Chains A and B, each alone.
Chain A
Amino acid sequence: MRAVRAASRLTRAGRWVMLRVLINQIRFTALQAIGLVAFLAAILAFLVISQSIRQLGRFGAVDNLGTIMVVAVIRELGPLLTALIVVSRSGTAIAAEMATNRVMGEVTALEAMGIDPYIYLVLPRMLGAIVSVATLMVVFDAVALLSGYVAATTNGMALSRYTAIVLRTLSAKDVWLTLAKGVFFGAAVALFCSYHGLAVKAGPTEIPQAVTRGVVATIVAIFVLSALFVAVAT
C-alpha cells in the first residue's frame, strides 16, 4: 500500500515511464495471448456443448445446456483456463525478469537512484496483469458463447433456442464475477511471480527455481481463490 501511495506522488515524467511499462505489460500479457485464449475457448466450448447436447438429448434435458454453458464454462472453467494461460506465458516471464533484475544488481541500482523497485517493477506489472486477465476472460467468454452456438447448430439446435437457453441462465452476477476474478487472478499472477522472482539471492542458477516456485504458488492461489469465489458467490 505504501508503494501505491508513493506511486500517486510520482512526477509527470515518472508517470510516463510507468505508463510505458504498463502498456508493454498489457501488450505482452493480453494482446499477444488473445489468439491462444480464443482458440482454447472455442475448442473447450465446442467440446462441452457438443457432448452435452448428445448426452442431455438422451434424457430430454437439453434445456439444461444453459446451466452447463454458464456455470461450467463461463463462470468456472473460463476464468481458470485464462488465468492458467496468463501464468504460463506472462507469470513465468515476470518471475524470470524479476529474478534477473535481482541477480544483475538492477534492483539495488534502482534503490540507489532513489527509485522504489516496487513502484517501477511490480506495480505496473500488477496493473497490467489485472487489466489483461480481466480482458482475456471477457474474450474467452465471448468466443466460448460463439463456439457454443456453432456446436449447437452442428448438433441440430436453432440459434433462437440456443440463445434463449443460455440467456435464461446468464445473469449480471456472472459479469461481475468474471471481472472480480480478473482482478484477483491478475493480481495473484503478478504478486506471486514478482515475489518469488525478487526473492532470488544466490545467483543465476536460482532463476529457474524462482520461476517454478512463482508459477506453482500462483496456480495454487488461483485454485484457492476460485474455491473462495464459489463459497462467497453461492
Chain B
Amino acid sequence: MTERRTSVVLGPGVAELPGAPPLAFREVDLLGRADKAGRFSVVVEPGAVVAAIGDEESGIEALGPLALGLTAPLAGAVEVFGVPIALLPYYDLLGFRRHLGYLPQGDGLLQNLTLKDNVALPVRFATDHRLHEVEARVAQLVDDFRLRSIAALRPAQATEEDRRRAAMARAVALNPKLVVLELPFVGLTSRAAKELLDRVSRSDDGSARAILLTSRDLTPAVRDLVTHAVRVVDGVAIEAQTRESGWR
C-alpha cells in the first residue's frame, strides 16, 4: 500500500504573498545607526542575481542572517516573498526557511558528516520523500556539483573548493526560489566561481533563480551572471549598477 505524500518541502502554514519579490530590504539599519539616511534598501526580483559588494565594515555580513531571519533588523524591515521573516514564530520560521537556500560564510558544513551526508541533510529532514527518493536526489546533487569522487570525505579532509561545492549543493538541495550566498568566491579560482554561480543560479527546471550574494569585489569571471550590483559603504547602498548599463 502506498502512503500519501503531501509535498516536496514540508513547511508551515506561512504563505508567500503572490507577486511579492523574493527578497526586499526596506530601510534596514545594518550597523546600528539612529539616522534614517544611513539605511539599506535593496530588492531582489525573481530570477535576478544581485551582488552586495563591500568591505568588512560595510555591513554586508549582516545581510545573510537578516535575509534568513537569523537576526532581526535593528530598524526597517526584511521581507522574504512578502513575509516579514523576523516576525515569524520559531517553528514557522524553521519551516519557512526550507523555501530558501543559504551558504553561510565559512560554509557551515557539519564536521562529523561526510560531504554527501551534509548535502543530504536538508533533503532528509525537510521532505517526505521515501528513502530511495532521497538517495536519488542526493546522487543527482552530488553529480551536478562534481562531488562524486570526494563524497565520502569529511569537510576537514576536502579542499576549500570541494567544501564550497558541497555547501552550495546543500544550499540548493530543496530547489529553493531564493538563495543567499555569503562571500561565495573566497578561495575559489575564477573558473570554479563562475561554474558554481552558474549552477546555483538555475533552478531544477532551468529557470533563473533569485540570488543575493555578498562579496568584497565583483570578480570579472562572474560579471556575466550578475544582473545587478550594489556597492555598500557604512551600511548604505551608495552605488547601483546593472549588467545592461555595463560594469564600472
By a beta-carbon cutoff of 8 Å, the part of chain A in contact with chain B is 2, 6, 10-14, 16-17, 97, 100-101, 104-106, 108-116, 120
Contact of A113 with B131 at beta-carbon distance under 8 Å, contacts A104-B108, A106-B108, A108-B70 already known: no
A156 to B10 CA separation, bound complex (whole angstroms): 68
Show 29 A/B contacts (Cβ-Cβ < 8 Å), sorted by A.
Answer: A6-B91, A11-B129, A13-B124, A13-B127, A13-B130, A14-B125, A14-B126, A16-B124, A17-B124, A105-B104, A105-B106, A108-B65, A108-B70, A109-B104, A109-B109, A109-B110, A111-B94, A111-B97, A112-B100, A112-B102, A112-B104, A113-B97, A113-B98, A113-B121, A113-B126, A114-B96, A115-B94, A115-B121, A115-B126
Docked complex: B103-160 residues within 8 A CB-CB of A? 104-106, 108-112, 121-131, 134
A-B contact count (CB 8 A): 89
**Those 10 A-B pairs whose CB atoms lie nearest each other, nearest first:** A109-B108, A13-B124, A114-B98, A114-B97, A112-B102, A14-B125, A105-B108, A113-B122, A114-B94, A11-B128
Contact of A16 with B110 at beta-carbon distance under 8 Å, contacts A6-B91, A108-B70, A112-B102 already known: no
Is B108 touching A13 in the complex (CB atoms < 8 A)?
no
Residues on B with C-beta less than 8 A from A17 are: 121, 124-125
Interface residue? B46 (CB, 8 A): no
Is B130 touching A12 in the complex (CB atoms < 8 A)?
yes
Is A100 touching B111 in the complex (CB atoms < 8 A)?
yes
Contact of A10 with B94 at beta-carbon distance under 8 Å, contacts A104-B106, A108-B108 already known: no
Q: Give the shortest distance, in Å, between A104 (CB) and chain B (any CB).
A: 6
A42 to B111 CA separation, bound complex (whole angstroms): 38
Q: Please classify how large the interface on chain B is, using the bins under 10, 10 to 19, 20 to 34, 35 or more.
A: 35 or more
Q: Give the shortest distance, in Å, between B175 (CB) and chain A (any CB).
A: 14
Cβ-closest chain A residue relative to B95: A114
Q: Give the shortest distance, in Å, between A1 (CB) and chain B (any CB).
A: 12
Which residue of A6, A12, A101, A114 contacts B126 across the interface (Cβ within 8 Å)? A114
A2 to B68 CA separation, bound complex (whole angstroms): 21
Residues on B with C-beta less than 8 A from A114 are: 11, 94-98, 122, 125-126
Q: Which of B96, B97, B108, B123 has its CB near the most chain A CB atoms (within 10 A)?
A: B108
A63 to B112 CA separation, bound complex (whole angstroms): 54
By a beta-carbon cutoff of 8 Å, the part of chain B in contact with chain A is 10-11, 65, 68, 70, 90-91, 94-98, 100, 102, 104-106, 108-112, 121-131, 134, 170
Residues on B with C-beta less than 8 A from A6 are: 91
Which residue of B65, B98, B125 contacts A13 across the interface (Cβ within 8 Å)? B125
A10 to B98 CA separation, bound complex (whole angstroms): 14
Residues on A with C-beta less than 8 A from B129 are: 11, 13
Contact of A115 with B125 at beta-carbon distance under 8 Å, contacts A11-B10, A97-B112, A109-B109 already known: yes
Cβ-closest chain A residue relative to B130: A12
Is B104 touching A108 in the complex (CB atoms < 8 A)?
yes
Cβ-closest chain B residue relative to A101: B110
Contact of A120 with B125 at beta-carbon distance under 8 Å, contacts A111-B97, A113-B170 already known: yes
Q: Give the shortest distance, in Å, between A22 (CB) and chain B (any CB).
A: 14
Is B112 touching A13 in the complex (CB atoms < 8 A)?
no
Residues on A with C-beta less than 8 A from B95 are: 114
Q: Give the shortest distance, in Å, between B173 (CB) and chain A (any CB).
A: 8
Is B128 touching A12 in the complex (CB atoms < 8 A)?
yes
Cβ-closest chain A residue relative to B128: A11
A6 to B125 CA separation, bound complex (whole angstroms): 12
Cβ-closest chain B residue relative to A100: B111
Residues on B with C-beta less than 8 A from A2 are: 90-91
Residues on A with C-beta less than 8 A from B104 are: 105, 108-109, 112
Is A115 touching B122 in the complex (CB atoms < 8 A)?
yes
A173 to B108 CA separation, bound complex (whole angstroms): 49
New contact pairs (20) apart from A14-B126, A109-B104, CB-CB < 8 Å: A2-B91, A6-B91, A11-B128, A12-B128, A12-B130, A13-B125, A16-B124, A104-B111, A105-B104, A105-B106, A108-B104, A111-B70, A112-B70, A112-B100, A112-B102, A113-B126, A114-B11, A114-B94, A114-B98, A114-B122
